[in-house]
Amino acid sequence: MKTDTIFYSLFKEFPSIFFELINQPTEQAATYEFTSREIKQLSFRLDGLFLPKNQTRNQPFYVVEVQFQLDEDLYYRLFAELFIFLRQYKPPYPWRVVVIYPTRRIEREQPLQFQELLTRVQRIYLDQLGESGSDSLGVRIVKLVIENQQTAPELARRLIDEAQTQIADATTKRDLIDLIETIIVYKLPQKSREEIEAMLGLSELKQTKVYQEAKQEGLEEGLVEGKQQGLTEGQLKAKLEAIPRMIQLGLSLEMIAEGLDLPLEVVQQACQLFDQQNVLAFIQLLNHQRELFSPEDLADLAFLIQPLPDKLEDLANAIAQWCKQEEHTAPYKAWRQILSDLLSATVENLLMINLNTLEPSASPVTKAMVQNAIEPGESSD
């Protein structure tokens, strides 16, 4: 599991959970900013930093390390990075370190060199979180990370039910539910996202008006956040245009979001839109440049599409694989040209946050539409 990514997303979206874990008032979350910081001399990076927003307050800054694998050198590396960071940035706050372990067995303490320094390190062992945290939804979501595969889906369903009843704000509720789903995706890599949605009872929930409105609001906030971070529209555009190429390299949506430093919500929405444009471009090609397809090509396409489920991602992947075959060079080049124009318009719309035209469900692309383009008037399913 990419536990560091999960915890980074969790603390970024819900910093109050971190303060729950270290037994500090959750109100402190409002006075901190969660970030990461490059240590340039040695290309180190402190991936989790809670920095006080107000320099006049006598608050510590926190270095957060998530460690789920045995590592004899963890404290050597961690303290080396910490003290290089102190020298480079000279923060006006005292330091604290928080290390999150799944279990005490993973830790390699190294007391010979670090006994005194370890007094300023708080170790959290997820399997030892007491019943005192059982009433906290946030802490129970953290503990879901170490739940075994057999019982994790049932626990996730209960947490989703609790989030729906306990959380009033629609956007916060959606973010928590998406986080729970992401944890299960990582825990059950053999399952597709559609299977996990069905397993957790999310398929119908995601179609509700409240969830869709919260999703759109999250996309707006994510793009605005990118602009507020000092990115120009050109930089944002370059990041959005990189998403389809990164998908082709086999990267997960979470890895893409982390690598491009974009909110996961933006990457998810962009991927849906790009899949939609893949299929729309191919339908346009069939309708307007049909001479590029031989009768054998059309028969092959009909045979390829017929058994597929009516899912946008499956349709887009099948079309892309067919076009990339060596014998389909002419349709491939024409498809890429149409797709380039559509993707360029999609990126521009994303930058303008024109959600009325972006929402895929507003004008769904279906399997029947593809079949009609292949064999006009003869589609069947």
Tens digit of pLDDT at every position of the chain (381 positions): 456 677 877 888 888 999 999 989 999 999 998 887 766 554 566 768 899 988 766 889 999 998 988 999 999 999 999 998 898 889 889 999 999 999 999 999 888 899 999 999 999 999 888 655 456 888 888 888 889 989 999 999 999 999 888 888 777 887 788 888 888 877 887 877 678 888 888 766 565 554 555 455 454 454 445 444 444 555 666 677 677 767 665 567 777 777 777 777 778 777 877 888 889 889 999 999 999 999 999 999 999 998 888 888 888 888 988 987 878 888 988 988 887 777 666 555 555 443 333 344 445 788 899 999 998 755 444
Question: Which DSSP letter does residue 70 get?
Answer: -
d(CA 166, CA 125): 26
| C-alpha to C-alpha distances, 19 to 14, 89, 262, nearest whole angstrom | 10, 24, 24
Percentages (nearest 5) of helix, strand, coil residues in the chain: 65, 10, 25
Q: How are beta strands 95-101 and 121-125 bridged, if at all?
A: parallel
* Amino acid at residue number 322: W
| C-alpha to C-alpha distances, 297 to 148, 293, 323, 328, nearest whole angstrom | 48, 6, 10, 9
Is the distance from CB of 127 to CB of 102 less than 8 angstroms? yes
Phi and psi torsions of 45, nearest 5°: -145, 125
Three-state DSSP at 126 gives: helix
d(CA 141, CA 183): 9
Global pTM reads 0.56
* Element counts in the chain: helices (H) and strands (E): 17, 5
Report residue 232 as tokens: 């120009």
Which residue in the block uniquely carries the two structure tokens 């006006």?
92
Phi and psi torsions of 212, nearest 5°: -65, -40
Enumerate the β-bridge partners of residue 123: 99
Helix spans in 65-169 (H): 74-89, 111-114, 137-144, 152-166
Burial of 189 (0-12, 13-18, 19+ CB in 10 A): exposed
| C-alpha to C-alpha distances, 84 to 32, 52, 71, 87, nearest whole angstrom | 22, 19, 20, 5
